[in-house]
Structure 1
Amino acid sequence: MKLDTKSLIAVILVSLLAAACSPESGDESKNGKKQQATSDVTFYFGARVIPGDGSPVIEDATFIVSNGKFTAVGKKGEVTPPKGSGRIDLTGRTLTPVFFNLQAQPGLSNGPSYGPKNYGRESVIADLDRYAYYGIMGVLTGGTDDGDLAMQIRDEQRQGKVNGARLYTSGRGIVARGGGPAGLGNIPISVATAGDARKAVSELAEKKVDAIKLWIDDDNGKGAKLKSDVYGAAIDEAHKRNLKIVAEVFELADAKDLVKAGIDGFVSSIRDRDVDNQLVSAMKEKNAFLAPALTTAEAKFEYADKPSWLGEQTMREVYPAQLSAYLADPVTMNKFKRNPELGALRQQYATAMKNLKKMADGGVRIALGTNSGSPDTYPGYFELREMISMVEAGMQPMDVIKAATSVPAAFLGNNDHGVIAVGKVADFLAMPNSPLDKMTNIKDVGSLYLKGAEVERSSIIQNIKIDVPKITERDREADARAEEAARLAAAEAKLPHYGKFVLGPAATVRSMAVPTPKGSKADIKAGPPDRITVAMRASAADLRDFYSKALPAYKWSAAGNCWQRQHPASNKAETLCVEPANNSAVIQITEK
């Protein structure tokens, strides 16, 4: 097709204006020279197409893209190339729609460092570019946005001024006063009453957030948790304002109550116990979804074992080898190994995997949600790992692709993406190997097409930097001391315990041994009556428990509120009474 100069200029202007005004994700960004939108009609052929909505694979597919949208999709022979159209051979490639993630924390991490200190315009945009590199072209933030920056970036994206994955924001998440996730500082909104919750939702709605986020997790009893009347008010207010509302949840009981209250979905797994049919049925009835965030639960313990994927090519394309080396260093691994909750975290992950399968098999709507950007999770790369984990949990690859494309796009109200179908924007991935054959094939993203034009993926990340700390000799010395302390603690854990404590050196009074806890200091004053003051950082209840269990081992028998035994030499009756208090216990021995 030939165009004179004036016609060519007109075509270019029309294309640029269309790109600037377009509401679609990624389309309007300028990630690479191949990404520029075009009004040309292009005919594609030879690919294996996974539509994304669960419908059957189209083998040897043909389709047409015109003005950045699919105008025809079918099998070989069903679509005729328009006269004068361009042609692209995708033989051997497997196509999926671009992916969407319903739980993300862009901007908070810089290598192993995490928190509000890292949050800023540059760090948020860098993570959006990382997502885009791996084919994740839309992310919903998880209530971790500091101030109004995310809204500003989102609006600039809609104007075509900012690159990367399309940003959807939940603003600041809502937590119980005195609760919330560690490490986020003052980012979350703390509420105590139903009125507080309604006010928080109202203020977020005025900022035009895309969704509301709740935390319903007390971190294993370490903090406060939103009460049912408070989160019920938040859910009601969100729906009155036509906003979707999601929650991070840990316990099954909370999940059931949240579904009754009308929550739209969960962006974490239930991990305290196996889910039951009651919850599965309720979620199906209310059409509530689950975005399991398996990899975030796994990241809390997996570096203790040097995971096999650490440092693989797909990761190194965005994250430097120095980061993998840092995470694989014994100093880092030992820190994870010393976590006293390590065993519980492993069990929680196993429960999450089991629960995902039961919920998926039961017909609950499943979506991709990772919480990547939280500690020790890496945006973009962890979405691919999440999809692999979902298959390892028992989901079918086709269902995982659906969970990463049409389901989250629909939740976000993005009607232009999520499915390779007529009328949708032609944003898709062309992979060299099919994830339906083996889900690990998802790691080789292959080529990224936006509005039907191939993007040079390497150009998206060429200016991204990441800081990786160096492990110093001082770090190694501190680790050695911590390891020795852990070894001693482990050895002590194998000793007999009396309540919370093991036995220390006995205090001896007139040839009679009286037990003391290890680590305590005993001050003996001869009588009569004999008096022993035991000093130790412990509660009165713990000290009382120790003596109730330890004294019988020293031949003292209970006698009311005190203890008795015969003196080994005189055979006279001896009475021992314990008066425990916080940080001390006073023991008095009298002879009858």
Structure 2
Amino acid sequence: MPQGFSTASAAHDLVVRRAHVFDGRRTLDGLHDIAVDGGEITSVSTEPLQGAHEVDAAGGWVVPGLIDTHIHFYDVLRVSDPASMRAFEEHELPEKLGLFLDHGVTTIKSVGDPTDGILATRDGIAAGALRGPRLLATGCGITGRDGHPASTVFSGNPWARERFTGEVESVQQIRDLVHDLADRGVDAVKLLSEGACAHSGGPEYLWRNPAFPDGVALERLPLALLRAGIEAAHERGLRVTVHTTQQAAAREAVEAGADGLEHGVTVDPLTDRSLIDLMLDHGTTYTPTLWIDDAHPDARGNLKKVADAGVPISLGSDTFSGRGLFGANTLEEAELMAAAGMAPAQVLAAGTSGAARQLARSDLGTVAPGKRADLLVLSADPTADIRALRDLSTVILNGAVDEHEPPSR
């Protein structure tokens, strides 16, 4: 019997006809029709279905809408006071949001934007006032006093530093901040363990970046605060991902109960097999962010090791305003993951069902009855070549065809 069988006489709100389907985990055999009613997939059938509106895939491919689990939306370099914040929101924000949909990204997770602004943007999208992808947000990223990115990216921008980051220096402060964010309705919590730095009391570590050639001295978020932040978030039912770059910091975060690692291990080779086993035991998600970290010589090899071992992988680009293009950067991340040695189907899973797992959103990332109808119609086979994600003909978000003309590729 076909999956989600529906009789041909039944009329649905929308039907995508005659498509090969990658359902978020595997490729289904043969061609399928996909029926949508009220924003939800109601049938995936080998039999023809009828809809009030139809999209003919013409033997092309349907995959779940892409999910980017690590983005920074507000312009960290240009937002520096109330006037520049308003200017960004009024003149740049709508177009930048739309770019994600133009490239087939139907869900994004902001992990370190000003809490008030990003939550208002999330509400505007949900209310239909803004065209954009489904937006989930952590609000500000939580770091130690003078930690990354407070004393790095925002060292010369005190106004933004107070809003993009939450600096804490005691267990009580981090618990209070996490509970405050939970009260305000964030979707998850992001903690920043380090920016590739040593423990307090250890040798000085200088964080280096092309924008900061002289380096910035940093210390890791103290372990007691890391544990307290994760514990407080879990008390509120929120998942926690932790920014790490070193093996030692990654192990510390996993042992403290982190649900995911942002960046993972990038600045040194992942040689500790027991760390991989620990991630497997805990079900920890690994988000490689190669779009920003591919310059590190070990980043690709480390991703290949954890992917081959079966560690859950989620796609997250660490994209931000000022470099590349929102949406296009997500596609580049997928291509970099494939270049690191992941099979195209593995990359597709990381950007759909794997990303949905990281978000704890079981309604997303899968083409199956009962799931949200976020769908991409492609002209070519992405399971053979991940670059086929650029051959996008139709974007469907919450069961509605996005009528905006996709950019030429």
Q: TM-score range by the shorter chain?
A: 0.7 to 0.9
Pairwise mapping of residues 82-231 of structure 1 onto structure 2 (< 5 A)?
82=50, 87-108=54-75, 116=80, 119=85, 120-122=88-90, 123-143=92-112, 145-181=113-149, 182-184=152-154, 185-186=161-162, 187-220=164-197, 221=205, 222-231=217-226
- Against the structure 1 CA distance between its residues 50 and 194, is the aligned structure 2 distance closer, same or farther, given a 3 Å change threshold? same
Note the alpha carbon deviations across 1:410-444, whole angstroms, 9 max, x for none: 33343432111112232211111111121222222
Partner of 2:310: 363
Cα offset, 1:367, TM superposition: 0.3
TM-score (norm 2): 0.83
Aligned equivalents of 1:67, 1:448: Cα separation in 2? 16
- Residues 68 and 105, structure 2, Cα contact 8 Å, conserved in 1: yes
- Decide whether the 8 Å contact of 1:114 with 1:374 is kept in 2: no
**CA distance in structure 1 between the aligned counterparts of 2:55 and 2:390, rounded to whole angstroms:** 24
- Distance in 1 (CA, whole Å) between partners of 2:140 and 2:14 is 43
Deviations 1:523-546, CA, capped at 9 Å, x for gaps: xxxxxxxxxxxxxxxxxxxxxxxx
The whole-number CA distance in structure 2 between the counterparts of 1:148 and 1:453 is 28
* SS of equivalent residue, structure 1 residue 202: helix
Contact 2:233 2:239 in 1 (8 A): yes
Separation of aligned partners in 2, 1:368 and 1:116: 30
In the alignment, the residues of structure 2 paired with residue 365 and residue 115 of structure 1 have an alpha-carbon distance, to the nearest angstrom, of 35
Aligned equivalent of 2:238, options 230, 239, 243: 243
Q: Of the candidates 33, 37, 46, which is equivalent to residue 18 of structure 2? A: 46
- Residue 116 of structure 1, CA deviation: 4.4
Q: Which residue matches 2:259? A: 264
SS at match of 1:446: strand
- Please state how far the C-alpha of 1:284 moved relative to its aligned partner: 1.0
How far is 1:125 from its partner?
A: 3.5
Does structure 1 conserve the Cα–Cα contact (< 8 Å) formed by 2:266 and 2:293? no
In the TM superposition, what whole-angstrom CA distance separates every residue of 1:94-133 from its partner, at most 9, and x where no partner exists? 1111011111001216xxx555466442344332211111
The percent of aligned pairs where both chains have the same amino acid is: 27
Q: How does 1:428-577 map to 2 (within 5 A)?
A: 428-458=375-405
Pick closer, same or farther for the CA change 1:242–1:177 going to 2, 3 Å. same
**Cα deviations by residue, 1:478-516 (Å, 9 ceiling, x for unpaired):** xxxxxxxxxxxxxxxxxxxxxxxxxxxxxxxxxxxxxxx
Give CA deviations for 1:180-229 in whole Å, capped at 9, x if unaligned.
Answer: 12223332111112222112212211211111111122455222220111
In structure 2, C-alpha distance between the alignment counterparts of 1:386 and 1:252, rounded to whole Å: 22
Alpha-carbon distance between aligned partners in 2 of 1:103 and 1:416, rounded to the nearest angstrom:
19
Partner of 2:287: 291
With 58-67 and 398-407 compared, the bigger mean Cα shift is at 58-67
Matched, 1:66 2:37: yes
Say if 1:406 and 1:419, in contact at 8 Å, map to a contact too: yes
Query: SS at 1:370's partner residue?
Result: coil
Q: Which amino acid aligns with 2:250?
A: A
Partner of 2:348: 401
Kept in 1, the 8 Å contact 2:108–2:133? The answer is yes
Which digits, 9 at most, give the CA deviation of each residue in 1:106-161, with x for residues without a partner? 1216xxx5554664423443322111111111111112x22411112212333332
Moved more, 232-241 or 218-227: 218-227
Q: Is 1:383 aligned to residue 330 of structure 2? A: yes
Secondary structure of the equivalent of 2:377? strand
Query: Which secondary structure state, in structure 1, belongs to the residue aligned with residue 298 of structure 2?
Result: helix
Whichever residue aligns with residue 170 of structure 1, its letter is T
The alpha carbon displacement at 1:167 in A equals 1.4
Deviations along 1:318-350, one digit per CA (max 9) or x if unpaired, are: xxxxxxxxxxxxxxxxxxxxxxxxxxxx4x2x2
C-alpha distance 98-355 of structure 1, shift in aligned 2 (>3 A): same
Give the CA deviation at 1:389: 0.6
Tell me: CA distance 1:436–1:66, structure 2 relative to 1, closer, same or farther (3 Å). same
With a CA cutoff of 8 Å and minimum separation of 6, indicate the structure with the bigger relative contact order. 2
Q: Which has the larger radius of gyration?
A: 1
- Judging changes above 3 Å, is the alpha-carbon distance between structure 1 residues 290 and 374 closer, same or farther for their aligned structure 2 residues? farther
Question: Which whole-Å CA distance do the structure 1 matches of 2:374 and 2:299 have between them?
Answer: 32
CA separation in 1, counterparts of 2:53 and 2:181?
A: 47
Structure 2 CA distance for partners of 1:254 and 1:42, relative to 1, 3 Å = closer
> In 1, are the aligned partners of 2:26 and 2:345 still within 8 Å (CA)?
no
1:447-495 CA-partner distances (Å, limit 9, x unpaired): 2123444322328x8xxxxxxxxxxxxxxxxxxxxxxxxxxxxxxxxxx
Q: Distance in 2 between matches of 1:85 and 1:149?
A: 38
Is 1:448–1:454's contact at 8 Å kept on the other side of the alignment?
yes
Which runs of 5 or more structure 1 residues have no equivalent in the other structure? 1-38, 299-345, 462-592
- Equivalent pairs counted in the alignment come to 365
Query: What secondary structure, in the 3-state scheme, does the structure 1 residue paired with 2:187 have?
Result: coil
